[in-house]
């Protein structure tokens, strides 16, 4: 018995000491977790703050900074803040100004369509640092790139080429774009956070999701209305989709010569909203309350830059005075007043019928047979 009692105490201590140390370590970890969380939150907040501007007398970019930029930015997921046209020209960013813009950007979008829209997630696929600018390709870029092994050709028997499988669809039909960040003279020495700040007009590195990236590109009044799920007169269809979602019902009607489309949200006995579009702009919002009250809003509540572009585009469509040396099909000395005009009530001037062509007739009686030619 004394022998067994002496062996029981060490065994009890063998299980008690690790348990005590684990409980103490667990308590220390719990007390340190808030500190780590606060440190992580402060680091995230510091990363979202704008970096200091690049000095005017900064040196040329170093080799180590080049490697760091390539390592940090290639294959990084970002959100677009500007629209990228689907062409081989891309965007040019210099001093916070984006080109093309205005009417030139609208013509490129009408001709090629958008490759990336504001708020869309995008991936930086290629970064190249040149003399006075940095080239960033988005979603593979607008042109096709091949790997070195995809350019290798293997010839089989009788000179027949051996293919390596089907080509990648992203390479045969690219839908990406690019942005070139230009500097006054050369690419200066900078930090990665300073470079993100320079790219902020076109790319958002801090957005958590697509919705946040899109809202950051809108005016404050529109952003507040979308967050409150409220539609303003003057919004476009994309803004209404972010504010109210897809409409359960759509109706297309005519108001005189004007064709409009109405999106209907809600069903009785709840409130029902009728959002009317003419083109891509909200021109009327009608709300039917549960108690029978009818609220109609037609005055413009928000003015978007696109509306000003449309006005300029319509002004350009108005006929202008023709220059004196404009090309014409009139003969020399012929005045426009001398051109014959169609008679009243007719759509076009009558065209006299052409006379039948002169066909030589054979001589002799009509029933006489012609001699056969040898």
Lowest mean pLDDT across 59-63, 90-94, 309-313, 352-356: 309-313
Whether the pLDDT of residue 44 is over 80: the answer is: no
Whether the pLDDT of residue 66 is over 50: the answer is: yes
Task: Determine the Cα–Cα distance for residues 160 and 331; give it in Å rounded to an integer.
Answer: 63
Please state at what angle helix 103-112 crosses helix 305-317, rounded to 10 degrees: 80
Q: How far apart are the first and last CA of the chain?
A: 147
- Give pLDDT, residue 16: 47
pLDDT digits (tens, 9 = 90+) for 145-159: 666 666 677 776 666
Nearest-CA neighbor of 217 among 365, 346, 80, 18? Answer: 80
Task: Determine the Cα–Cα distance for residues 294 and 31; give it in Å rounded to an integer.
Answer: 58
Whole-angstrom Cα Rg for the chain? 37
Task: Determine the Cα–Cα distance for residues 299 and 283; give it in Å rounded to an integer.
Answer: 8
- Give pLDDT, residue 351: 58
pLDDT digits (tens, 9 = 90+) for 246-272: 999 999 998 888 999 999 999 888 899
- Give pLDDT, residue 363: 63
Binning pLDDT at 50, 70 and 90, where does residue 102 land?
confident
Per-chain mean pLDDT for the chain:
75
Preceding peptide of 269 cis, ω within 30°: yes
Binning pLDDT at 50, 70 and 90, where does residue 41 land?
very low
- Give pLDDT, residue 133: 94
The pTM score is 0.55
Query: What residues contact residue 266 under an 8 Å CB cut-off, 6+ apart?
Result: 272, 273
Q: Mind giving me the DSSP string for 27-58?
A: HHHHHHHHHHHHHHHHHHHHHHSPPPPPPTTP
Mean per-residue pLDDT for 267-279? Answer: 91
Whether the pLDDT of residue 34 is over 90: the answer is: no
Task: Determine the Cα–Cα distance for residues 306 and 313; give it in Å rounded to an integer.
Answer: 10
Please state at what angle helix 237-244 crosses helix 220-227, rounded to 10 degrees: 40
Asked if residues 234 and 219 have their Cβ atoms less than 8 Å apart, the reply is: no
- Give pLDDT, residue 212: 83
Nearest-CA neighbor of 84 among 144, 135, 137? Answer: 137
- Give pLDDT, residue 61: 93
Asked if residues 264 and 273 have their Cβ atoms less than 8 Å apart, the reply is: yes
Nearest-CA neighbor of 165 among 150, 180, 176, 179? Answer: 150
Q: What is the percent of the chain with per-residue pLDDT over 70, rounded to a whole number?
A: 62
Mean per-residue pLDDT for 127-138? Answer: 93
Q: By CB neighbour count within 10 A (0-12 exposed, 13-18 middle, 19+ buried), where does 283 fall?
A: middle
- Give strand ranges (E) for 154-268: 154-155, 161-162, 177-182, 203-204, 249-255, 258-265
Q: What is the percent of the chain with per-residue pLDDT over 90, rounded to a whole number?
A: 33
What would the CATH number be for the domain defined by 218-312? 3.30.1450
Q: Structural domain boundaries of the chain?
A: 63-154+169-214, 218-312
Lowest mean pLDDT across 25-34, 92-101, 123-132, 355-364: 25-34
- Give pLDDT, residue 275: 95
Preceding peptide of 100 cis, ω within 30°: yes
- Give pLDDT, residue 143: 78
Mean per-residue pLDDT for 288-292? Answer: 87
Mean per-residue pLDDT for 51-80? Answer: 90
pLDDT digits (tens, 9 = 90+) for 222-247: 999 999 999 999 999 989 999 999 99
- Give pLDDT, residue 6: 46
Whether the pLDDT of residue 206 is over 60: the answer is: yes
Phi, psi (deg, nearest 5) at residue 97: -100, 135
Task: Determine the Cα–Cα distance for residues 223 and 239; give it in Å rounded to an integer.
Answer: 9
- Give pLDDT, residue 325: 66
- Give pLDDT, residue 50: 60
């Amino acid at each position: 018995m004394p022998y067994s009692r002496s062996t029981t105490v060490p065994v009890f201590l063998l299980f008690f000491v690790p348990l005590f140390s684990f409980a103490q370590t667990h308590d220390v970890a719990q007390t340190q977790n808030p500190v780590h969380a606060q440190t992580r939150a402060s680091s995230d907040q510091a990363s979202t703050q704008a970096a200091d501007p690049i000095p005017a007398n900064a040196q040329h970019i170093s080799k180590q900074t080049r490697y760091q930029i390539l390592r940090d930015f290639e294959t990084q997921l970002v959100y677009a803040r500007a629209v990228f046209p689907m062409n081989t020209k891309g965007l040019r960013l210099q001093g916070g100004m984006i080109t093309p813009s205005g009417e030139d950007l609208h013509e490129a979008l009408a001709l090629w369509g958008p490759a990336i829209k504001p708020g869309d997630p995008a991936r930086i696929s290629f970064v190249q640092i040149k003399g006075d600018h940095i080239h960033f390709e988005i979603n593979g870029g607008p042109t096709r790139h091949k790997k070195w092994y995809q350019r290798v050709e293997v010839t089989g028997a009788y000179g027949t080429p051996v293919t390596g499988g089907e080509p990648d669809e992203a390479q045969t039909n690219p839908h990406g774009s690019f942005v070139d960040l230009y500097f006054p003279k050369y690419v200066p020495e900078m930090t990665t956070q300073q470079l993100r700040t320079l790219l902020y007009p076109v790319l958002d590195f801090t957005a958590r999701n697509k919705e946040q990236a899109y809202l950051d590109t809108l005016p404050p009044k529109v952003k507040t209305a979308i967050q409150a799920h409220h539609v303003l007169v003057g919004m476009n269809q994309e803004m209404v989709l972010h504010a109210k979602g897809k409409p359960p019902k759509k109706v297309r009607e005519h108001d005189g010569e004007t064709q409009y489309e109405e999106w209907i949200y809600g069903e009785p006995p709840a409130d029902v909203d009728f959002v009317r579009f003419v083109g891509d702009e909200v021109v009327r919002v009608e709300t039917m309350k549960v108690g029978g009250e009818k609220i109609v809003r037609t005055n413009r509540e928000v003015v978007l830059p696109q509306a000003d572009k449309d006005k300029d585009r319509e002004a350009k469509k108005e006929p202008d005075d023709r220059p004196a040396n404009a090309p014409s099909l009139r003969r020399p000395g012929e005045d426009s007043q001398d051109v014959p005009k169609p008679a009243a009530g007719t759509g076009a001037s009558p065209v006299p019928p052409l006379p039948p062509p002169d066909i030589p007739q054979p001589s002799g009686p009509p029933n006489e047979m012609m001699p056969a030619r040898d």
